[in-house]
Amino acid sequence: MCGIFGYVAHKKTNAVEECLKGLQALEYRGYDSAGLAGIKQGKIHFYKRVGKVRNLKELVFEEEVALEIGIAHTRWATHGGLTEQNAHPQLDSSHSLALIHNGIIENYQEIRFNLMNLGKEFVSETDTEVISQLLAYEYTDFAFIPSLVRTLEQLEGSFAIACIHKDFPDAIFASARDCPLIIAKCKKTDDIFISSDANALSRQDMELIFLHDGEIAQISAGIITLYDKKGLIIQKAFESISLCSKSSSKEGFEHFMLKEIFDQPLSLSQVIKNRFDSHTAKVQIHECKDLGQIEHIRLIGCGTSYHAGLLVSSIFEEMLQIETSAEIASEFRYKDPILRKNSLVIAISQSGETADTLAALRLAKSKGAKTLGFGNVMHSSLFREADLFIDLKAGPEVSVCSTKAFTSQIASLLLFALYLKQTIKGVDVALDTTFFHHLESLSGIVTDVLQQKDLIRSFAEKYADYENFFFIGRNLMYPTSMEAALKLKEISYINATAYPAGELKHGPIALIDETIPTIAFLGNEKTLSKTFSNLTEIQARKGKILALSPRHFTKITTITNDVIWLQNDLPDFFSAIPYSVAAQLLAYYIAKKRGKEIDQPRNLAKAVTVE
């Protein structure tokens, strides 16, 4: 999603190169246009291009652009279509300032209307241009900070901005309200960077300041001056944090998605190694204390993270005998959920920056619930805002389509359930040796799935031309099939609908014929024969079936020869992991056959920072 980057060198230099590097580091988030602006000889210069950062790069190289300071942006369209006019930076009518922006200004239409009545002319459809025009209107007497304060006071919504003004040719101004924005100073060079994403700052030794609650920063060579939202000078200490660099290498794989699918034996073994002491057979979660009184649990998240929550919610309930439910964060936050101080709200988010998940977390906190974040990015907003935080340690995930974060979420959440069993229920989980045996075998089981990649690829090629699919499963295989269908939709742009297998007969079966194949998930022993019956109903209506089935269930060949055989003897708790890995490969190879842009699918973003 949108990304902000800015650069002020300690000693005068061309800022363009750093800005382009910053934009490249933000690319993984998903975007559809890019731009940058800077000041040269007291004048604002700006450059924008629809499409990839490389298009912008070509433009600035062609024109041999040199700028003294720079702000740069990747835009994911919200207000207004994919045009150069709507790309950031947005300027005011007299080109006295340039501004880039993440987030949404909820009252932009009213402000725009008022400014138009005052004779301002707009060139874009964006809410960002409204900020630029308003700021230029408010600006008087070379007093930039007071005018910025007056401007920000009029804006509703959550946002982060960075801007430059021709009257302050050596400064960048930045502010953030409920949206991440980091100011980083390089310890070696004193160069200062601004970014909405810590991943774009991972290249050097940095000291960081996180802007919160409408705070404003004025940044010029080697100097950062901070103000609160009223414009009063404040002091904030730097946080010395070592940022882990987002791996920029595909390590020989054609796409990050494929690399990340193949990372899973390692990422899963990391989760287990970090949380489970195989000598004592104890689950150790150092980050969590004071959970003894928990009486009910809510798991919240979006997209893939919601699926992880949904999947484990029934496992939590069964294992802990504590009422547990999973909810989509964007829905949860508009309910009036019953939460008490003995409620535990678990917010699951790979990026730790998903706006809906953070808003739901804030609601839970305001109602007195204890909050726990499960995230893959240390120092993210989730890390900073949740009472407790568990790091998934899945390693950086670059592809927009989430793969290894999902399986690490499931494994971590399962271990967390065991931890609660230990701490709340006082059960000696060490006695459950079968559970731990299976847990430790997960990496090997996933490796076994990966070894079937050629078979899975051949099925992908066979099914790649269909435009509609059903994905079905029962019990834990239902959320597994939801996640699998999401993978296919995200990267192949194929319509894939997940259904609980038993529910098909209550309507959707009307659609079944030879044009809509069904991908069936049979990794749940408890419901195997029932799912089989549902499949016979599909076969009777000439529906094609590709089954993901345990090896022992040879009966499946009586209705289809298209079978991906998976591990037997795995308890239902764990099956989602190998079945999901097989489905990830299937989606990957279908998208590849259809020639899609796999790592950065159209319209999607890695971190969705708007509500």
Q: How far is the CB of 482 from ligand G6P (least distance, A)?
A: 12
Q: How far, in Å, CA of 442 to CA of 16, rounded?
A: 47
**Is residue 480 close enough to count as binding ligand G6P by CB under 6 A?**
no
Q: How far apart are CA 203 and CA 187, in angstroms?
A: 12
In whole angstroms, what is the distance from residue 87 CA to residue 81 CA?
A: 9
Question: SS3 for 17-46, per residue?
Answer: HHHHHHHHHHHHHCCCEEEEEEEECCEEEE
- Among positions 324, 354, 408, 580, the unique one binding ligand G6P when judged by CB under 6 A: 354
Contact segment (CB under 6 A) with ligand G6P among 49-57, 274-282, 348-356, 553-561 equals 348-356
| Segment lying near ligand G6P (by CB under 6 A), choices 12-20, 319-327, 395-403, 581-589 | 395-403
Select from 176, 163, 228 the least CA-distant residue to 6: 163
Closest CB to ligand G6P among residues 65, 361: 361
Q: Is 19 a catalytic residue?
A: no
Q: Which of 195, 402, 481, 524 contacts ligand G6P by CB under 6 A?
A: 402
Q: Is 555 exposed, middle or buried (0-12, 13-18, 19+ CB in 10 A)?
A: exposed
Contact status: 357 vs ligand G6P (CB under 6 A): yes
- Of 376, 380, 388, 320, nearest in space to 353 by CA: 380
Residue 303 sits in the site that holds ligand G6P (CB under 6 A): yes
516 or 607: CB nearest ligand G6P: 607
The residue within the footprint of ligand G6P, chosen from 351, 403, 412, 481 (CB under 6 A), is: 351
403 binds ligand G6P (CB under 6 A): no
User: What is the secondary structure of 78-141 as a DSSP string?
Assistant: SSS-S-TTTSSPEE-TTSSEEEEEEEEETTHHHHHHHHHHTT---SSS-HHHHHHHHHHHH--T
Residue 609 is a binding residue for ligand G6P (CB under 6 A): no
**Per CB under 6 A, does 604 bind ligand G6P?**
yes
Whether residue 169 has a cis bond before it, omega within 30° of 0 = no
C-alpha to C-alpha distance for 533 and 598, rounded to whole angstroms? 35
Structure tokens at 276: 């489970």
Burial 62-98 (b: 16+ CB within 10 A, else e): eeebebbbbbbbbbbbebbeeeeebbbbbbbbeebbb
Q: Closer to ligand G6P by CB, 531 or 584: give it.
A: 584
Residue 324 in the binding site for ligand G6P (CB under 6 A):
no
Q: Please give the Cα distance from 575 to 555 (Å, whole number).
A: 19
List, in order, residues 6 or more apart from 591 with CB less than 8 Å away. 488, 491, 492, 598
Least separation in angstroms between residue 439's CB and ligand G6P is 23
Question: Where are the strands (E) in 215-367, listed by range?
Answer: 215-220, 223-227, 233-234, 239-240, 276-277, 282-283, 296-301, 323-328, 343-349
| Choice from 350, 475, 481, 524 touching ligand G6P (CB under 6 A) | 350
Q: Closer to ligand G6P at the Cβ: 372 or 528?
A: 372
CB-nearest residue to ligand G6P: 303
In the complex, least distance from residue 37 CB atom to ligand G6P, rounded to whole angstroms: 28
Partner residues linked to 177 by β-bridges:
159
The DSSP symbol for 238 reads P
Of 156-164, 191-199, 208-216, 399-407, which segment contacts ligand G6P by CB under 6 A?
Answer: 399-407
The CB-of-517 to ligand G6P minimum distance in angstroms stands at: 24
In what helix (H) or strand (E) does residue 493 lie, and over which residues does it extend? Answer: none
**Amino acid residing at 398:** V
Classify residue 419 as exposed, middle or buried by CB count within 10 Å of its CB (0-12, 13-18, 19+): buried
* Interface region with ligand G6P, contact rule CB under 6 A, candidates 135-143, 196-204, 241-249, 601-609: 601-609
Task: Name the one residue in this structure whose structure tokens are 């009257």.
Answer: 167
Binding ligand G6P (rule: CB under 6 A), the pick from 126, 151, 305, 560 is 305
Q: Which of 347, 75, 443, 394 is nearest to 246 (CA)?
A: 394
Pick between residue 223 and residue 388 the one whose CB is nearest to ligand G6P: 388
State CA 388 to chain mean position distance: 19
Query: Catalytic pick from 404, 489, 544, 606?
Result: 606
If one counts every other C-beta atom within 10 angstroms of the C-beta of residue 454, the result is 8
- The residue count for binding ligand G6P (CB under 6 A) is 17
Query: Which 8-state DSSP code applies to residue 255?
Result: S
The piece of 59-67, 78-86, 196-204, 303-311 that touches ligand G6P (CB under 6 A) is 303-311
Please indicate whether residue 302 is annotated as part of the active site: no
Among the listed ranges 48-56, 79-87, 400-408, 465-473, the one in contact with ligand G6P (CB under 6 A) is 400-408
Q: Which is nearer to ligand G6P, 270 or 351 (CB)?
A: 351
Q: Which CB atom, from 482 or from 563, has the smaller least distance to ligand G6P?
A: 482
Site for ligand G6P in 273-302 (CB under 6 A): 302
Which of 400, 456, 522, 581 lies at the binding interface for ligand G6P (CB under 6 A)?
400
Q: Closest separation between CB of residue 532 and ligand G6P, Å?
A: 31
CB nearer to ligand G6P: give 1 or 134: 1
Could you say which of 132, 304, 403, 408 contacts ligand G6P (CB under 6 A)? 304
Q: Which residues are catalytic?
A: 2, 606
Binding site for ligand G6P (CB under 6 A): 302-305, 349-351, 354, 357, 400-402, 604-608
